[in-house]
Chain A
Amino acid sequence: MKDFIIPWDDKDMGTPARTGKPVHLTIDGIAVTVPTGTSVMRAAAEAGIAVPRLCATDSVEAFGSCRLCVVEIEGRRGTPASCTTPVQDGMTVRTQSSRVKKIRRGVMELYVSDHPLDCLTCSANGDCELQDMAGMVGLRDMRYTPGHNHFDPSGTGARSQSEARLRMPVGEANPRYSPKDLSNPYFTYDPAKCIVCSRCVRACEEVQGTFALTIEGRGFDSRVSAGGAADDFLTSDCVSCGACVQACPTATLQENSVAELGTPDRSVVTTCAYCGVGCSFKAELNGDELVRMVPWKHGKANRGHSCVKGRFAYGYASHPDRILKPMIRARIEDPWREVDWDEALGFAAARLTAIRQQHGRKALGVITSSRCTNEETFLVQKLTRAVFLNNNTDTCARVCHSPTGYGLGKTFGTSAGTQDFDSVEQVDVALVIGANPTDGHPVFASRLKKRLRQGAKLIVIDPRRIDLVKSAHVSAAHHLPLTPGTNVAVISALAHVIVTEALYDEAFIRERCDWDEFIAFADFVSDKRHAPESTALLTGVNAQALREAARLYATGGNAAIYYGLGVTEHSQGSTTVMALANLAMMTGNIGRAGVGVNPLRGQNNVQGSCDMGSFPHELPGYRHVKGPEVREIFEKAWRVPIDPEPGLRIPNMLDAAVEGTFKALYCQGEDILQSDPDTRHVAAGLKAMDCVIVHDLFLNETANYAHVFLPGSSFLEKNGTFTNAERRINRVRKVMAPKNGYEDWEVTQMLANAMGAGWAYTDPGQIMAEIGATTPSFAGVTYDRLDELGSIQWPCNADHPEGTPLMHVDGFVRGKGRFIVTEYVATDERTGPRFPLLLTTGRILSQYNVGAQTRRTENVVWHDQDVLELHPHDAENRGLNDGDWVRLASRTGETTLRVRVTDRVSPGVVYTTFHHPDTQANVVTTDFSDWATNCPEYKVTAVQVSPSNGPSDWQEDYSAQAVQARRILPAAE
């Protein structure tokens, strides 16, 4: 196993960095030059001088409360705090005069007078800034006799908590002592150790933007409080992002894992495997035991922040449900049989070969995973193209962002977002449509909220009142609660206002786009039928509010569009993406920081899996298989003929399976049974196949229909790269050896070789080299470059040797930006007397996608079942109360779940999540899909909701089948 410990400096500089003109000063005789606005503390840190401090840390603004960082400045009176004093030209600073040293010792002595002396048994031992500072200031005595304090439960004058227990084994005689708050499953709050530096409160406010913490009381009574007087961490607004734990200088807020396992002694920088934000983390370890995940402050996507999933929800990797041995069975009705790798691969290869002989090469296919690395995805699509000799490859992006690829490809020329996440710091108007960033992309949401608190304006277009519409210190200028399925009508109405009120940027359009095309588009959209007043009845959006939102977007400065699956997962998903691109082009909001069209990608590597040629019609780098010059590149590299015909998409594979022409599927790291629409149809398709190979961490729902199960490795156990929503290629580094024995790319290679492929990769770096050699936008990407630069945003090639943070800066990739006419066409899914409500689906913060990972962590304390949100008006009509069991039925199927009555949804709209397999929200969703890309219309289903007293027939049949299908016979010894 290769240890990779990153050399970059993680030193805490005390206060945040500034940009500005250089200022020259001298600190302890050392000349230093820093930008204007930098604190004296940070300037000292730049000069290699550490000024003692407790309340300052570089993730939050200086606060000036601990008084430990005092210094002397020539020509100034007193001893200013270095954290709150900005540098000035010619300043001469002394950090170690006898005067400041005496002050620091006195301050430190006061701090320690109300802090237990349990250091040796404290969970922060070795990782405690209070301890470090006591050492640094040379504290040698503690003259205060034990009196009022917060740490001694016995009230007997004990100096440590262990001593207090000895003196008074029962009872708590000190009214100021409060016990630990153990309510959060991942960390503990111990008020007895708090020094009231407010770092946690400030991190919650400034970094996370949740404002769940405060200091309650005053003076000696001050303590950190989560929520109100009656709250604990779990009942408060806390979202468990862990920023407070990271900021805490003592053991007051400490990860339970550290308390249990001890302080880590080494770290490996890697990338989170949850959402498309792609946060960089330091995996901190003892040996190969993971102690904690700490967001890495040099990570360019997350800038040192994380959410509850990335920081804490990694326990699934060692969950007892995880399958570590290969398994096979002749028929899906049989129990699983554990076998060794050779037997499993031999069995799979024999079946695949037999199917190819009997049904032809096109009866086989693969599904690549958006959770696996680029290298692994590349190999899976290579398996079908170079070994099965067809193009039957698809990926879960089919069901999420395929319209993004299509729509942005047609209008701008690249199938990816235009900006980096740093760009949000320069946004003046953010338009969020069909996305719920605080739940789906929490770290991005924190960065957006920070910008909103600085004064940027927000427009939200969503059927639901998502948290961004109104939450502490954030409120949207406009919320347009549209009827699900009317995205195109709403965006066309926005364009109508911009065109008819002449708010467009003519200079930009003339220079960067085709003016005649714009005129044609303007003619189309100026038609009265697109006016907000005309569409209001259809969309449910107030015309005046829409007009004001359009004016704000067009004239409010840098305007950026952020969107999610609420845009793509519609029958007009691709049209909506193009309509958004039109908005950005006509207002000139493309090609610089703070603007752009930004898809928020769902999964960690959904961008990468698309880039790697997972689609049946495209070879890596979005090049159509029909192009002979593209095929030639791969034919030369792989020495096989490439099929010039596009292969089957997932829904086509399933249809073909039901028809009997598609027989074998290798599905890596995706649970199509749970995540794809119309569950019954998926089940029927899988059941009709002769060889389903599931390669996953768990016996997922799809595996109930599988013949071969190949155990997968978690992101902690492999090397590779993930590409996030900003096209940023981040390294994934192996933290521990794979528990199943092999990294996923090795398993794919073994399967290919069992079929005679003769692949000989020994390191994923070799796969990246092959990607770079065959795919122009990755030409400059190598592991050495990634280690050097930290991360790279593609395209990275001779023209952009360090990658491309912003796209379309000097011109669109396709040449001229293209305006495409976007006619609204209503979906075929309509409400009617039997199904009068519209169901839309989404997700929540603590769970992720189908929940295979997060359901196997403590995150279930926040969300242990899917619930249906229903407006009070609709609830009353149906005689339903909060918490009732309801039957949710559509034309496709029905399920049951509990109802939550809330006015977050509009009357006529219901909402649920799809995290739990026993709910199976996708039993209800239809098989309507995007006209261009087949992306399913998850976001609009006509449903009826009625009282129920138990699970639906489907749920009962399904769970019986699942129990049956998951039986495992132990391997013969």
Chain B
Amino acid sequence: MRHSDPTADDITTLIETQMHLEGPLLPIFHAIQDACGFVPESALPLIAGRLNLTVAEVHGVMSFYHDFRKTPAGKLVVRICRAEACQSMGGSALSAAVLDKLGLDWGDTTADGAVTVEAVYCLGLCACAPAAMVGDTLIARANVPRLERAMEGAA
């Protein structure tokens, strides 16, 4: 993942990689986010122009999906499940503790850009709730120490 502001040429190249697809809008968002870590605002007019859509339409689609970022995330993204099963197994206390410890609110990034904490609604691990995800690693039966260890390991 490259966390830098891409140029218009970078974006255009990424758009072209998806143009062979039918309905390439979402794949374009993914391609840009995969390459850049986020989808910069400056990409929207380029996507709109290429697909003959308006910026409003592109913005409407992108803002519908929480996973597409408008700004770069921290180096490490921690997602904590807030869905029903995890909540019933102490997920709320867990997330409160993690957020408190880092001094963040949902979706925020630490001042040093190290960690972003995000809510997620179900990771498919209800049987071993509460669940979380640190970077690309899934954590079952999560608690504060396990999460801290995972974060140290990833950092």
Interface residues of chain A, those whose CB is within 8 Å of chain B, are 210-218, 225-231, 236-237, 470-475
Contact B53 A225 (CB under 8 A): no
Interface status of B59 (Cβ within 8 A of chain A):
yes
Interface centre among A225, A228, A473 (most CB of B within 10 A): A228
Chain B residues in 8 Å Cβ range of A215:
60
Given A228-B41, A229-B41, does the pair A237, B60 have CB atoms closer than 8 Å?
A: no
- B residues 49-97 in Cβ contact with A at 8 Å: 52-60, 63-66, 70
B24 shortest CB reach to chain A, Å: 16
Q: How long is the Cα–Cα vector from A610 to B109 in the complex, in angstroms?
A: 70
What is the CA–CA distance of A317 and B56 in the complex, to the nearest angstrom? 35
From known contacts A217-B64, A218-B64, infer whether A228 and B52 are also in contact, taking CB-CB under 8 Å: no
Chain A nearest CB from B65 CB (Å) reads 8
Q: B56 contacts which of A218, A227, A473 (Cβ < 8 Å)?
A: A227
**Which of these, A226, A227, A231, A473, contacts B53 with CB under 8 Å?**
A473
Given contacts A214-B57, A225-B59, contact A230 B52 (CB under 8 A): no
- Residue pair B56, A212 in contact (C-beta under 8 Å): yes
B52 touches A214 (CB 8 A): no
Contacts of B54 in A (CB 8 A): 210-212, 227, 237, 472
Most chain B beta-carbon contacts within 10 A, residue among A210, A215, A475 = A215
B56 touches A230 (CB 8 A): no
Asked whether B133 is an interface residue with its Cβ less than 8 Å from the other chain, the reply is no
B44 beta carbon closer than 8 Å to chain A: yes
The answer to whether B55 touches A227 (Cβ under 8 A) is yes
Are A237 and B56 touching (Cβ within 8 A)? yes
Give chain A residues whose Cβ lies under 8 Å from the Cβ of B58.
228
Residue among A211, A226, A231, A474 facing the most chain B CB atoms (10 A cut-off): A211
| C-alpha spacing A474/B54, complex, angstroms | 11
Residue of A nearest to B64 (CB): A218
* Cβ B56 vs Cβ A213 within 8 A: yes
Assess whether B53 is in contact with A228, with CB atoms less than 8 Å apart.
Answer: no
- The answer to whether A225 and B52 touch across the interface, beta carbons within 8 angstroms, is no
Q: Give Cα A474 to B51, complex, Å.
A: 11
Contact, CB under 8 Å: B63 / A216: yes
Which residues of A lie under 8 Å from residue B44 when comparing CB positions? 228
Residues of B within 8 A of A227 (CB): 54-56, 59
Q: Are A214 and B59 in contact (CB under 8 A)?
A: yes
Of A210, A214, A473, A474, the residue contacting B60 (CB under 8 A) is A214
CB distance from B40 to the nearest CB of A (A): 11
Q: How far is the CA of A173 from the CA of B60 in the complex (A)?
A: 26
Interface residues on B, range: 10 to 19
The smallest C-beta distance from A832 to any residue of chain B, in angstroms, reads 38
> Separation in Å of the B68 CB from the closest CB of chain A?
12
Q: List 29 A-B contacts (CB under 8 A).
A: A211-B54, A211-B56, A211-B57, A212-B54, A214-B60, A215-B60, A216-B60, A217-B63, A218-B64, A227-B54, A227-B56, A228-B41, A228-B44, A228-B45, A228-B55, A228-B56, A228-B58, A229-B41, A229-B59, A229-B63, A229-B70, A236-B55, A471-B52, A472-B48, A472-B54, A473-B52, A473-B53, A474-B52, A475-B52
User: How far is B56's CA from A92's CA once the two chains are assembled, in angstroms?
Assistant: 42
Question: Which of chain B's residues have a CB closer than 8 A to the CB of A213?
Answer: 56
Q: How far is the CA of A5 from the CA of B39 in the complex (A)?
A: 55
Asked if A225 and B41 sit within 8 Å, CB to CB, the answer is: no
Closest-CB distance, B84 to chain A (whole angstroms): 16
Residue among B45, B57, B70 with most chain A CB within 10 A: B57
Chain B proximity of A215: nearest CB distance (Å): 6
A881 to B56, CA, bound (A): 29
* Cα–Cα, bound, A230→B41 (Å): 9
Q: Are the C-beta atoms of B41 and A470 separated by less than 8 Å? A: no
Counting from the closest, the 8 A-B pairs by CB-CB distance are: A214-B60, A214-B56, A216-B63, A211-B54, A228-B59, A228-B55, A472-B54, A218-B64
**Which residues of chain A come closer than 8 Å to B52, judged between CB atoms?**
470-475
Tell me, in angstroms, the Cα distance from A227 to B53 when the chains sit together: 11
Tell whether, in the assembled complex, residue B64 and residue A237 are in contact, meaning their CB atoms are under 8 Å apart.
no
Complexed CA–CA distance, A218 and B63 (Å): 7
- Give chain B residues whose Cβ lies under 8 Å from the Cβ of A216: 59-60, 63-64
Q: Tell whether, in the assembled complex, residue A236 and residue B63 are in contact, meaning their CB atoms are under 8 Å apart.
A: no
Closest CB-CB distance, B96 to chain A, in whole Å? 19
Establish whether residues B56 and A236, one from each chain, have CB atoms under 8 Å apart when the complex forms. yes
Q: Closest residue to A223 on the B side, CB-wise?
A: B63
**Please, how many angstroms separate the alpha-carbon atoms of A225 and B63 in the complex?**
11
Give Cα A211–Cα B52 distance, bound, in whole angstroms.
11
B55: chain A residues at CB < 8 Å are: 227-228, 231, 236-237
The residue on A at minimum CB distance from B48 is: A472
Instruction: Report if A226-B70 is in contact (Cβ < 8 Å); known contacts: A216-B63, A217-B64.
Output: no
B residues near A230, Cβ cutoff 8 Å: 41
Q: Identify the closest chain B residue to A215 (Cβ).
A: B60
B146 to chain A, nearest CB (A): 31
- Expressed in whole angstroms, the Cα–Cα distance for A231 and B58 within the complex equals 13
CA distance A217 to B61 in the complex (A): 8
Cβ–Cβ contact B56 & A225, under 8 A: yes
CA distance A471 to B52 in the complex (A): 6
- B-side contacts of A211, CB under 8 Å: 53-54, 56-57
A472–B57 touching, CB < 8 Å: yes
CA distance A231 to B45 in the complex (A): 12
Q: How far is the CB of A212 from chain B (nearest CB, A)?
A: 6
Interfacial chain A residues near B63, Cβ < 8 Å:
216-218, 225, 229
Give, as a whole number of angstroms, the nearest-CB distance from B105 to chain A.
Answer: 11
CA of A470 to CA of B55 in the docked complex: distance in angstroms?
14
Shortest beta-carbon distance from A148 to chain B in Å: 14
Residues of chain B lying within 8 A (CB to CB) of residue A214: 56-57, 59-60
Chain B hits for A217, CB < 8 A? 63-64
Give the residues in chain A near B70, CB-CB below 8 Å: 229
What is the chain B residue whose CB lies nearest that of A204?
B56
B116, chain A: closest CB distance, angstroms:
19
Query: Complex: how many Å from CA A225 to CA B54?
Result: 12
Q: What's the Cα separation between A247 and B93 when bound, in Å?
A: 46
Give chain B nearest CB distance to A716 CB in angstroms. 34
A-side contacts of B53, CB under 8 Å = 211, 472-473
B8 to chain A, nearest CB (A): 16
A955 to chain B, nearest CB (A): 37
Taking the nearest CB of chain A, how far is it from the CB of B56, in angstroms? 4
- Restricting to B20-48, which residues have a CB under 8 Å from any CB of A? 41, 44-45, 48
A110 CB, nearest partner CB in chain B, Å: 21
With A218-B64, A229-B70 already in contact, 13 other A-B pairs whose C-beta atoms are closer than 8 Å: A211-B57, A214-B60, A217-B64, A225-B60, A227-B55, A227-B59, A228-B41, A228-B45, A228-B55, A228-B58, A231-B55, A237-B55, A471-B52
A471 proximity list for chain B (CB < 8 A): 52
Q: Which residues of B contact A236 (CB under 8 A)?
A: 55-56
Considering the complex, give the chain B residue whose CB is closest to the CB of A205.
B57
